[in-house]
């Protein structure tokens, strides 16, 4: 039996944070019902396509059910309220106040189902001056100081390559708090309203910078700090064939092994990070990446080649662990690897092939 088997989840969310949250819940056995407008989740229209919908939608919504509902129709709202009466979890991602105007806000639905764990995922939370401000992932990262930490030596920040606010700030805190809410309900029989702010939840990811600032007044800057490019022990070095090495020999034992491997033990006691960094860069630039891969093989140096995503998914380590062994299929039988989630393998269903739902595929089954 899966941990969330028998748990019914109503998913009103679209795009990324909410759908990824309910994907994790579905992987753990929850029955997830996706409530969509007539033209469906916007992500269905993205490209490239996998079957009739976008591959983005297929990856994030496999194993769920889909119903089409006009949330402006009083009759439909009554049907949704009947579903809510039977549900354990509700996930929504509208701006604050939208669900209230639809008659589906927490105060209203708690009267229908006081055991409901109601999760609201927004950019800036349900309260505060920014609660209704339109923004996207990069805005949240910029406004919390995260983009600023990506700056190079000249202070120029870079565009974040990962949707950190959506996932680390939205999806994962939502899943964690939903599980905590269910655990609380197991004890006292009462649900709760979870206010998940993607911006708020970025701050724990920068714990070291906050600590440095609060305790010593040393507020970090991009390009200058231990993990932002200021140290030769946490650095990207370019090889002679224009490839790159990720070198992170932070601890003394790794640092000593690293300097020995590159033949530069004389740098061990030089207290000039810029000089040491430049010296190492000059040495690494003398040989191609294959030379360095062989040189560091089997040594504890915390060094590896910087590779692309295509090469990463083919890496023998991840293949051996079965990271991409589960599949997602289309009605015609086409298949690609399913998006791996952080749900442990011991909690996953035994079957490995799943589909994402067609728009409104389960409307009649569920509503009628």
The residues that are catalytic are 136, 166
Quick check: 14 and 71 in contact, CB under 8 A? no
- The torsion defined by the Cα of 312, 317, 323 and 325, in degrees rounded to 10, comes to 100
What does each C-alpha distance from 52 to 19, 324, 335, 357, 360 come to in angstroms? Answer: 18, 23, 13, 10, 13
Neighbour count for residue 43 (Cβ, 10 Å): 19
Joined tokens for residue 225: 């700090």
Cβ neighbours of 47 (radius 10 Å): 8
Of residues 150, 314, 127, the one with CA closest to residue 225? 150
Nearest to 222 by CA among 303, 145, 144: 145
Contact 169, 198 (CB under 8 A): yes
């Amino acid at each position: 039996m899966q941990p969330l088997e028998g748990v019914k989840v109503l998913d009103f969310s679209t795009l990324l944070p909410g759908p990824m949250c309910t994907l994790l819940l579905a992987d753990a056995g929850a029955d997830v019902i996706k409530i969509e407008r007539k033209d469906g989740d916007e992500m269905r229209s993205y490209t490239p396509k996998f079957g009739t919908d976008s591959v983005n939608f297929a990856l994030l919504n496999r194993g769920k059910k889909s119903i089409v509902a006009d949330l402006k129709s009083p009759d439909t709202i009554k049907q949704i309220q009947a579903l809510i009466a039977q549900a354990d979890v509700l996930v929504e991602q509208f701006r604050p106040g939208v669900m209230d105007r639809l008659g589906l806000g927490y105060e209203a639905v708690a009267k229908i189902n006081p055991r409901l764990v109601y999760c609201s995922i927004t950019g800036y939370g349900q309260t505060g001056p920014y609660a209704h401000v339109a923004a996207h992932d990069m805005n949240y990262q910029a406004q919390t100081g995260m983009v600023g930490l990506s700056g190079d030596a000249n202070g120029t920040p870079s565009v974040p390559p990962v949707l950190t606010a959506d996932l680390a700030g939205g999806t994962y805190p939502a899943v964690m708090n939903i599980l905590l809410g269910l655990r609380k309900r197991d004890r006292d029989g009462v649900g709760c309203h979870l206010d998940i702010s993607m911006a708020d939840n970025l701050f724990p990811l920068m714990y070291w910078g906050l600590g440095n600032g609060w305790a010593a007044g040393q507020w970090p800057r991009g390009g200058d700090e231990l993990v932002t490019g200021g140290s030769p022990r946490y650095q990207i070095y370019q090889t002679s064939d224009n490839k790159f090495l990720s070198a992170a020999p932070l601890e003394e034992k790794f640092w000593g092994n690293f300097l020995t491997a590159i033949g530069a033990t004389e740098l061990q006691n030089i207290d000039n990070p810029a000089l040491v960094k430049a010296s190492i860069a000059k040495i690494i630039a003398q040989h191609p990446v294959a030379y360095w891969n062989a040189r560091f093989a089997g040594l504890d140096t915390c060094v590896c080649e910087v590779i692309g995503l295509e090469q990463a998914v083919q890496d023998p380590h991840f293949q051996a662990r079965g990271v991409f062994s589960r599949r997602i299929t289309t009605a015609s039988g086409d298949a690609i690897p399913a998006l791996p989630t952080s749900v442990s393998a011991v909690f996953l269903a035994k079957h490995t092939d799943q589909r994402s739902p067609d728009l409104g595929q389960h409307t009649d089954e569920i509503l009628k």
